[in-house]
């Protein structure tokens, strides 16, 4: 998977409790694939947890090419709150 090529990618996400096959929320556009999950953060600073960590609005994200809509990557949050690349 390409990680640093400059382009604009569409980022969609959903929480783990969402029904299978449900709608994904459009989170925004990123210029590269270094940290697309940053769009999944709650942006209201009152939602930052006491220890300074972010609380995530979604647990899964998918990134698509803006003109072909081909998938270019997907990530999920593990039980420790770390984003992992989904393989396969």
Domain that holds residue 24: 9-85
In a domain, 2, yes or no: no
Q: How far is the C-alpha of 26 from the C-alpha of 66, rounded, in Å?
A: 12
Give residue 58's pLDDT: 84
Domain count across the chain:
1
- The pLDDT mean for the chain works out to 79
Q: Which residue bears the tokens 């459009």?
A: 26
Give residue 50's pLDDT: 64
In a domain, 1, yes or no: no
**pLDDT (average), residues 17-32:** 80
Structure tokens at 47: 């939602």
Q: How far is the C-alpha of 9 from the C-alpha of 69, rounded, in Å?
A: 9
For the entire predicted model, the pTM comes to 0.74
What pLDDT, in 10s, does the model give residues 49-81? 566 666 677 889 999 999 999 999 999 988 888
Q: How far is the C-alpha of 2 from the C-alpha of 15, rounded, in Å?
A: 25
pLDDT category, 21, cuts 50, 70, 90?
low
């Amino acid at each position: 998977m390409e990680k640093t090529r400059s382009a604009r990618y569409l980022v969609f996400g959903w929480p783990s409790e969402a029904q299978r096959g449900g709608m994904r929320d459009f989170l925004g556009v990123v210029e590269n694939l270094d940290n697309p999950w940053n769009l999944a953060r709650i942006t209201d600073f009152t939602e930052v947890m006491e220890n300074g960590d972010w609380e995530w609005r979604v647990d899964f994200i998918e990134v698509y090419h803006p003109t072909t809509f081909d998938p270019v990557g997907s990530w999920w949050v593990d039980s420790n709150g770390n984003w992992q690349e989904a393989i396969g």
